[in-house]
Amino acid sequence: MIDEDDIGTEEEIKAKQGKIKRQRNLPQYKNLSEDEFQAKMAQKALGIDVSAEFEKRIAKKYAEFDNDYDLSDLKINDREALRALIQAVITLEDYEQYLFKLRSAGITQDTLFTTEKLHKAMSDLRADISKLQGDLNITRKVRKSDQDVSVLAFIDGLKEKAKRFYESKMSYIFCPKCHMLLGTLWVQYPELERNKIALVCGRHLENGEICGEKIIIGTDELLKNRGTSDKLITPESML
């Protein structure tokens, strides 16, 4: 038989429901499925949970991770690993604070043993943290590798854009003798070696003669030469 006192008043029931609803929006719970969330609430009801203050610290750390990484698609095992990582980081911070207090008070025979034990515990914690970071793929080495790949991709993208830009520009062909601009052109396939351009200079010189210089140049050569047959006389702004 159910004792009515165990059920609670309607106001108490609503208060409990409101509290659970608010907790549902906490960072450490918002990505849980309904079944996972209910399991967490059941643990809290049975008292199988850490203190409220510790939960606040976990929530704060979780928010920091959420700010640096995309945690929206974490599976249940990843979330548990992240929680374990956060707990280890918080514990390590506490150990460091306690160790600082011990050192500030001065190392004595009494504190020496405690200090050694703390160093051992902190070393083990750092190993656990490193392993958990590796499991979650958020180590510094992985992040640096991702950044390197991003930088390389960015540089490759710039090179590709530059290549397309040069290919899309008009090319300038000058007379190699009198430096007269003989023509500008754009071709669809400038990289093909078989594409050749032959031009004859018809400039009238001061002595009444015609220059008559002939130039034969390939479009691939123009492309390699940044779109000109003579970079020495081509303005930098045109290259």
Read off the pLDDT of residues 84-134 as tens digits, 9 standing for 90 and up.
888 888 888 888 888 877 777 676 666 777 787 888 888 888 888 888 888
Q: Is residue 128 part of a domain?
A: yes
Instruction: Identify the residue with better confidence: 18 or 174.
Output: 174
Whether the pLDDT of residue 7 is over 50: the answer is no
Residues 209 and 109 reside in one and the same domain: no
Same structural domain, 16 and 66: yes
Does pLDDT of 191 surpass 80? yes
Q: Is 38 helix (H, G, I), strand (E, B) or coil?
A: helix
Q: Tokens 């980081």 belong to which residue?
A: 89
Please state the rounded mean pLDDT for residues 51-59: 81
The predicted model gives 209-236 an average pLDDT of: 88
Write out the residue range of the structural domain in which residue 131 sits. Answer: 9-144
- Domain for residue 150, yes or no? no
Q: Are residues 191 and 84 in the same domain?
A: no
Residue 161 lies in a domain: no
Do 130 and 188 sit in the same domain of this protein?
A: no
User: What is the C-alpha separation between 89 and 86, in angstroms, rounded?
Assistant: 5
Instruction: Name the token pair of 72.
Output: 């929206």
The pLDDT of 163-176, averaged and rounded, is: 76
Which one of 75, 110, 144 terminates a domain? 144
Amino acid letter at 169? K
Query: 133 and 29: one domain?
Result: yes
Does residue 39 surpass a pLDDT of 80? no
- Sorting pLDDT into bands at 50, 70 and 90, what band is 3? very low
* Structure confidence at residue 221 (pLDDT): 92
* pLDDT tens per residue, range 158-167: 777 766 665 5
For the chain, what is the domain count?
A: 2
pTM exceeding 0.85? no
Question: Residue 65: inside a domain, yes or no?
Answer: yes
**In angstroms, how far is the first alpha carbon of the chain from the final one?**
92
pLDDT value at position 77?
Answer: 81
Domain assignment present for residue 85? The answer is yes
Comparison of pLDDT for 218 and 96, the residue scoring more: 218
Is the residue at 134 inside a domain?
yes
Whole-number Å distance between alpha carbons of 169 and 143: 39
Together in a domain, 48 and 89: yes
**What Å distances lie between residue 11 and 7, 17, 44, 69, CA to CA?**
11, 10, 21, 40
Judgement on whether residues 77 and 117 belong to the same structural domain of the protein: yes
Are 74 and 192 members of one domain? Answer: no
Residue 116: inside a domain: yes
- 158 domain-assigned: no
